[in-house]
């Protein structure tokens, strides 16, 4: 049992290093792609809201699946837009994606 402790400690250190590096990379990505970060942040927030609605029994799993599908389509559209502009999206593309997210957001919690 005591032999495992150093192994577990080492694993925890490695995971902590990855998480720290990932956090730094995300913040740099956020700086380099602020419009995409805002769109993806909203999608992540909506994902959490959908999960909470299911957990609270306010929507069914089938309704949640439909909302997740819409969010997935928005995320794919964001990626497609970015692939056409060296990884960036324009202000108009951001507005378009935000309007689509607003539509999904209104459906959550009805």
Residues 33-52: tens digit of each pLDDT: 888 899 989 999 999 999 99
> How many Å apart are CA 49 and CA 102, to the nearest integer?
13
Determine the pLDDT at residue 41: 92
Instruction: Give domain status of residue 29, yes or no.
Output: no
Q: How far is CA 106 from CA 13, 15, 91, 102, in A?
A: 42, 38, 22, 6
Determine the pLDDT at residue 8: 43
The overall average pLDDT reported for the chain is: 81
Instruction: Give the domain extent around 73.
Output: 34-110
pLDDT band at 31 (very low <50, low <70, confident <90, very high): confident
Instruction: Give domain status of residue 1, yes or no.
Output: no
Q: Does the structure show a pLDDT above 80 at 109?
A: no
Instruction: Give domain status of residue 51, yes or no.
Output: yes
What is the pLDDT averaged over residues 78-105? 94
Instruction: Give domain status of residue 24, yes or no.
Output: no
- In 3D space, the residue among 49, 26, 38 whose CA is nearest the CA of residue 97 turns out to be 38
pLDDT above 90 as % of the chain = 61
pLDDT band at 1 (very low <50, low <70, confident <90, very high): very low
Beta strands in 23-96 (DSSP E): none
> How many Å apart are CA 103 and CA 52, to the nearest integer?
18
Instruction: Give domain status of residue 5, yes or no.
Output: no
pTM for the structure as a whole: 0.70
- In 3D space, the residue among 108, 107, 81 whose CA is nearest the CA of residue 96 turns out to be 81
């Amino acid at each position: 049992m005591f032999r495992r402790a150093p192994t577990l400690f080492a694993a925890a250190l490695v995971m902590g290093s990855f998480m720290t590096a990932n956090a730094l990379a995300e913040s740099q990505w956020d700086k380099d792609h602020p419009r995409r970060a805002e769109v993806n942040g909203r999608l992540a927030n909506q994902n959490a809201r959908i999960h909470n609605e299911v957990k609270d029994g306010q929507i069914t799993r089938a309704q949640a699946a439909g909302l997740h599908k819409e969010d997935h389509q928005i995320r794919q559209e964001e990626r497609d837009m970015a692939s056409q502009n060296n990884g960036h999206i324009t202000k108009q593309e951001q507005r378009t994606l935000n309007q689509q997210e607003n539509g999904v957001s209104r459906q959550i919690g009805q």
